[in-house]
Amino acid sequence: MFKNGMRISSVALMLLAGSAMAAMAQEKLTVGANIGNVPWEFQNETGDFVGFEIDLVAAVAERLGAEVETVNIPFNGLFSAVQSGRIDIATSSITITDERLESVTFAQPYYDSDQSLTALAGGATSLEDMKGKVVGVDTGSTGDMWATAQQETYGFADIRRYEGLSPAMLDLTAGRIDGYISDIPALQYYVKDKPNLAVVARIPTGEKYSMMFAKDAELATEVNAVLDDLKAEGVLAELHEKWFGTAPDEGSSTVTILPIPSLD
């Protein structure tokens, strides 16, 4: 009887230990981000990761009682990383699209955006000026999709693909490409102290950004509920003012509580 009791106690202890380990695993969120994507996630002068989405993920994790480990992953690699379970969440101003919703899940959007064309000062001043010219894009981004679909319309001579804004900007500054198509908030932030560069065209695409998860991940529902609270309490609005210098537009997804996006 004593031995049987010891055996049962041992099993119970093992089960409790397993439950504790599972709980500990949930206390850490591994987040993939394309570092260098200003002002969403980038490194400051001391090498720390900073940005709108870095702050947002930290606020979400705090509400969930979790710590965050941020992993630097090229934009195009974020999709396979989240699908394989290598990361729990992907950020990097990721646009919600129906095509993406077929294989991943997004929480509600928190930023409304468009694409844009950036060029050297004194260079192209419109998309029409890019006829016969070379345009740069981020591999697999909505800017890449848009430029590929519109290449014939605008007569782009070539589309060069990059893993992030920084290498594209180096080539643009050096004259190796004639323009760069990417998310307008990132480019407006980037060029504000660079008089040799200018955002010369806004490309209306009606995009909305959010965090990306594995398909039907329970974590997406948990994060979505936290985003409800962060919007209602004005935390998202404060982050918008911190990183963009202005309050978010009334009715924008930064302040409006929305459902989880779906294909239905």
pLDDT digits (tens, 9 = 90+) for 69-106: 999 999 999 999 999 999 999 999 999 999 999 999 99
Q: Give yes or no for residue 36 having a pLDDT over 50.
A: yes
Has residue 153 been placed in a domain?
A: yes
- 167 and 47 in one domain? no
Q: Are residues 95 and 31 in the same domain?
A: yes
pLDDT-derived band at 120, boundaries 50, 70, 90: very high
Q: Is pLDDT above 90 for 32?
A: yes
Report strand pairing: 28-33 vs 89-95: parallel
Does 221 lie in the same domain as 168?
no
What's the average model confidence in pLDDT over 193-206?
Answer: 94
Judge whether residue 13 has pLDDT over 60: no
Does one domain contain both 186 and 217?
Answer: no
* Domain presence at residue 252: no
Same-domain pairing of 235 and 222: yes
Q: Are residues 192 and 68 in the same domain?
A: no
- The lowest-confidence range among 51-60, 125-134, 237-246 is 237-246
Identity at 136, one-letter amino acid code: G
Residue 16 lies in a domain: yes
Q: Where are the alpha helices (DSSP H) in 110-154?
A: 142-154
Domain encompassing residue 184:
114-206
Q: What is the pLDDT at residue 2?
A: 34
Q: Do 68 and 37 sit in the same domain of this protein? A: yes
Q: Do 90 and 78 meet the contact criterion of CB atoms below 8 Å apart?
A: yes
Q: Which of 213, 170, 189, 176 is nearest to 84 (CA)?
A: 213
**Which pLDDT belongs to residue 19?**
40
28 located within any domain: yes
Could you read off the pLDDT of 137-189 as tens digits, one per residue?
A: 999 999 999 999 999 999 999 999 999 899 999 999 999 999 999 999 999 98
Based on the fold, state whether residues 76 and 141 are members of the same structural domain.
no
In a domain, 259, yes or no: no
Amino acid making up residue 114: D
Report the number of distinct structural domains present in the chain: 2
Residue 192: the pLDDT is: 86
Q: Identify the pLDDT of residue 134.
A: 98
Residues 44 and 102 in one domain: yes
In one letter, which amino acid is 163? E
Per-residue model confidence (pLDDT) at position 26: 55
Per-residue HEC secondary structure of 33-75 comes to ECCCECCCEEECCCCCEECHHHHHHHHHHHHHCCEEEEEECCH
**pLDDT tens digits, one per residue of 62-71:** 999 999 999 9
Higher-pLDDT residue of 13 and 34 is 34
Give the span between the Cα atoms of 180 and 256, in whole angstroms: 31
pLDDT value, residue 162:
96
- 14 pLDDT band, cuts 50/70/90, is very low
User: Which pLDDT band holds residue 240 (cuts at 50, 70, 90)?
Assistant: very high
Tell whether 167 is covered by a domain: yes
pLDDT of residue 246: 85
Q: Would residue 154 count as lying in a domain?
A: yes
Here the CATH number for the domain that contains residue 151 is 3.40.190.10
Residue 27 pLDDT:
84
Question: Is 151 within the bounds of a domain?
Answer: yes
Q: Is the pLDDT of residue 113 over 50?
A: yes
Mean per-residue pLDDT over the chain, rounded: 91
